[in-house]
Amino acid sequence: MLDQRLLRDNPAQIVEGLSRRGMDVDLEGSQQLAQRARDLEQQRSELQAEGNRIGRQVGERIKAGATPGGEEVKALRDEGNRIKHRVAELEEQERGLEQQLREQLLGLPNLPSPLCPDGRSEADNVEVKRWGEPRLGTLASGKPLQEHWQIAEGLGIVDTERSVRIAQSRFVTLLGQGARLERALISFMLDRHTARGYTEVLPPILVNSASLTGSGQLPKFAEESFRCADDDLWLTPTAEVPITSLHRGEVLAEGTLPLKYVAYTPCFRREAGSYGRDTRGLIRLHQFNKVELYWFCHPQESEQAHEQLTTDAEGVLEALDLPYRRIELCTADLGFSASRTYDLEVWLAGAATYREISSCSTCGDFQARRAGIRFRDGGKTRLLHTLNGSGLAVGRTMAALLESGQQDDGSVVLPEALVPYFGADRIVRD
């Protein structure tokens, strides 16, 4: 959520920032709402002050010996009642205005960082770096490199058809070495990040509406999450949601920042509007596993933290010998809560393309304001900054490993770093 003070004092800055995202917003309505709410508050609090004075007078008169039912006291009571009703009216109006204003503000995305490159579409994203040698060409036999779902099918480690029976399309069941590899990857990633100072978290994956609002998924993106019918609970679309709310409403003590968390969770997304895309394999599922990195940090440190978090995510790819590139998203491609984002794209040898495997964002104080997360900074309480990034999406990591490590005989050679976790250096057909 954007700062209401900014709306009052420098609305042009909001208009400009959002126009960099390609949005044309008219803030006049919101400004007027804010102004009217403030005027009402002024009026109301003056009336309340008057009412408080009267209340006190009644007490004093009675103490001084006035008859509680007498004329003098009755006049004051009548006046008190009149004020009370007037205050109630004003309060109702004020609440209405404030709620409207809040709804409007909650619907506005974060302002892009000054460092975020301008752009009109994802075509304007900027490649920052590349790492590793993408596997190109064909198998030794001359046959083309296969895509991960073909390899997985050949190995019998993924069952898509039966998953439809269990749930519906866009769900998978991992079997045998596939299930084992998924588990190995999760452990590998968690161990790696905790060794670098992240605190491991295993949060609830059903989250309430306040949590989704805090991190920015609500109110605008309700259609992206699965909802429980009988409770105010949703299946979390990313661990970013529960971790943001881990400290929702808190004022963190001086010296506790930065807080660095790593969480493995299943993630659930409805993927509305992506019919026909990535229908095969592990790329786009309603349920997938992800290891998420998350920082709560001092505003002055968030820029550096963003680099560090991204580097930490890249480290996983490097440890797994997976070639990737880092893309800085332009203003047009930025997510709702982000002010600046690096996407990491892993090389999929079979598909011969780079695919997103991590999205590392700094949200500035946007989520902190929504979720009310502050810290003490030399006697003052101020909003902190939040950052998040995948470290990594587990299913897509498996896809990349299958495609990069595929052999002519259908087996898959795994990177060394995984051997202690997987228990073998390759996957072969049982």
Partner RNA sequence: GGAGAGGUGGCCGAGUGGUCGAAGGCGCAGCACUGGAAAUGCUGUAUAGGGGCAACUCUAUCGAGGGUUCGAAUCCCUCCCUCUCCGCCA
Pairwise CA distance, residues 175 & 429, whole Å? 12
Select from 294, 337, 339, 330 the least CA-distant residue to 312.
294
Q: How many whole angstroms separate alpha carbon 158 and alpha carbon 178?
A: 7
Residue placing its CB nearer to RNA in the complex, 224 or 250: 250
Distance CA 369, CA 11 (A): 18
Identify the bridge partners of residue 354 per DSSP, sorted by sequence position.
Answer: 347
Q: Could you tell me the smallest distance in angstroms from the CB atom of residue 2 to RNA? A: 13
- Catalytic (active site) residue 170: no
- At closest approach, how far in Å is the CB of 208 from RNA? 10
- Decide whether 4 or 173 has the Cβ nearer to RNA: 4
Give me 162's structure tokens. 């039966």
Min dist. Cβ of residue 58 to RNA (A): 3
Which residues face 173 on adjacent strands?
159
CB 225 within 8 A of CB 269: yes
Active site residue 382: no
269 is known as an active-site residue: yes
416 is known as an active-site residue: no
Beta bridge partners of 295: 260, 387
* Minimum gap (Å) between residue 282 Cβ and RNA: 28
Residue placing its CB nearer to RNA in the complex, 137 or 266: 266
Shortest distance, position 80 Cβ to RNA, whole Å: 3
Beta carbon of residue 55, minimum distance to RNA (angstroms, whole number): 3
d(CA 244, CA 221): 17
Buried b (16+ CB within 10 A) or exposed e, 213-250: bbbbbbeebeebbeeeeeeebbbbbbbbbbbbbbbbee
Residues linked to residue 140 through DSSP beta bridges, in sequence order: none
Query: Is the CB of 69 or the CB of 273 nearer to RNA?
Result: 69
Q: How far apart are CA 127 and CA 118, in angstroms?
A: 14
Give the residues lining the site for RNA (CB under 7 A): 4-5, 8, 38, 41-42, 44-46, 48-49, 51-52, 54-56, 58-60, 62, 68, 76-77, 80-81, 84, 88, 251, 374, 381
Query: What whole-number distance in Å separates Cα of residue 363 and Cα of residue 335?
Result: 10
- In three-state secondary structure terms, 392 is strand
Which is nearer to RNA, 251 or 419 (by Cβ)?
A: 251
Q: Report how far residue 365's alpha carbon sits from residue 286's, in angstroms, rounded to the nearest whole number.
A: 30
Q: Would you state the structure tokens that stand for residue 379, as one six-digit string?
A: 């006697």
Q: Which of 359, 361, 390, 404 is catalytic?
A: 359
User: Is 82 in the active site?
Assistant: no
Q: How far apart are CB 306 and RNA at their closest, in Å?
A: 25
Distance (Å, rounded) from C-alpha 37 to C-alpha 328? 40
Cα distance between residue 430 and residue 426, in whole Å: 12
Q: How, if at all, do strands 353-362 and 340-348 pair?
A: antiparallel
Nearer to RNA, 191 or 250 (CB): 250
From the list 192, 340, 355, 396, the catalytic residue is 396
**Annotated active-site residue in 130, 284, 325, 376:** 284
Of 56 and 162, nearer to RNA (C-beta) is: 56
Options 21, 44, 192, 269, the catalytic residue: 269
Which positions are annotated as active-site residues? 269, 284, 356, 359, 396
